Chains A and B, each alone.
Chain A
Amino acid sequence: MELPKNIQHQIAQFQQIQQQAQAISMQKQGVELQIKETEKALEELKKTEEDSDIYKTAGNLLIKVKKDEINQELEDKLETLKLREKTVKRQEERIMKKLQEMQQSIQEAMQGSGTSPGLGT
């Protein structure tokens, strides 16, 4: 049974936004992972003595750095990452809301046209 053109169009749009939502969700996971890694590194740095040998990776090289310098650098990085996490979370909430609205509207349109809704959500 052929779906009406307007419903087909809505489904195509829905699938496009669903892909965007997946991409945003992966972005969020990536940022969360970086936050966890940075927090763990900061925790590990706390346990080290002030005069310990600490290095920063620069490609294949390791460059010696001072503890307070790298500590500050990681704190700054963490702050930026947390800000980024907030933004991505907001984006995710917005897109999920849009998806729900679209799903509802497609289901209503399908019921109206007598076809059964079968979206993979």
Chain B
Amino acid sequence: MEDRKRLEEIVNQINLYQGQADIIQQQIETIRVSISDLEVVESTLNNIKGAEGAETLVPVGAGSFLVAELKNTEEVIMSIGAGVAIKKKIKDAKELVAEDKAELQNTMNKMANNLQKISEILVQLSPEADELLKSVKESEG
């Protein structure tokens, strides 16, 4: 009876930790997507210098493009969140992107640490649950 009770407790704990681990994993994936989005901006800002007058294709959806000419490569309009965008000098924009990226990477590292801790707990709990399950089966079978 004691074993069964402990087994129930451990199974509940494992389910709870597993659920938390899944949520953290999803959040890490979301952050990873945001970081790679920022890397695209970073690369564009790095390569746009001196490309004034260059022909470019502007995406208008469904794989369709308009032909355009780059008019201004000194400034960029960038989102600052909350539905607001500001015109910024390329240098300032790069700084902002770098700040956002560092912040996201920091958060991602913290989350990866938490995930690691949860995984370690799960690794510790699983063998105990297996043992208890065996003993419950033996005593009931």
> Which residue numbers of A lie inside 8 Å of B, CB to CB?
34, 37-38, 40-42, 44-45, 48, 52-57, 62, 70, 74, 77, 116, 118-121
Chain B 53-93 residues near chain A, CB threshold 8 A: 77, 79-87
Q: Is the CB of B80 within 8 A of A40?
A: yes
Q: Is the CB of B15 within 8 A of A45?
A: no
Count the B residues whose beta carbon is within 8 Å of the partner chain — how many? 20
Chain B 1-15 residues near chain A, CB threshold 8 A: 1, 4-5, 8-9, 11-12, 15
- Minimum CB–CB distance for B97 against chain A, Å: 13
Q: Is the CB of B84 within 8 A of A48?
A: no
- Minimum CB–CB distance for A2 against chain B, Å: 16
What separation, in Å, do the CA atoms of A19 and B80 have in the docked complex? 34
- Minimum CB–CB distance for B23 against chain A, Å: 10
- Known contacts A53-B77, A55-B77, A57-B79: A120-B84 contact under CB 8 Å: no
What separation, in Å, do the CA atoms of A74 and B80 have in the docked complex? 12
Of the candidates A38, A62, A120, which one forms a contact with B12 in the assembled complex, judged by CB atoms under 8 Å apart? Answer: A120
- Known contacts A41-B80, A116-B5, A120-B15: A52-B85 contact under CB 8 Å: no
What separation, in Å, do the CA atoms of A121 and B8 have in the docked complex? 12
Q: What chain A residues lie within 8 Å of B1 (beta carbons)? A: 116
Q: Is the CB of A120 within 8 A of B82?
A: no
- Known contacts A52-B87, A53-B87: A118-B8 contact under CB 8 Å: yes
What separation, in Å, do the CA atoms of A97 and B79 have in the docked complex? 41
Q: What chain B residues lie within 8 Å of A54 (beta carbons)? A: 84-87
Apart from A57-B83, A118-B8, what are 20 other A-B pairs with CB-CB below 8 Å? A40-B81, A41-B81, A41-B82, A42-B82, A44-B81, A44-B86, A45-B86, A48-B86, A52-B86, A53-B77, A55-B85, A55-B86, A55-B87, A56-B83, A56-B85, A57-B84, A116-B8, A119-B12, A120-B15, A121-B12
What separation, in Å, do the CA atoms of A34 and B5 have in the docked complex? 43
Residue contacts A-B, CB under 8 angstroms, 5 given: A44-B86, A52-B86, A54-B86, A118-B12, A121-B12
Q: In the complex, what residue of chain B is closest to A36 when comparing beta carbons?
A: B81
- Minimum CB–CB distance for A104 against chain B, Å: 17
Q: What chain A residues lie within 8 Å of B82 (beta carbons)? A: 34, 37-38, 40-42, 74, 77
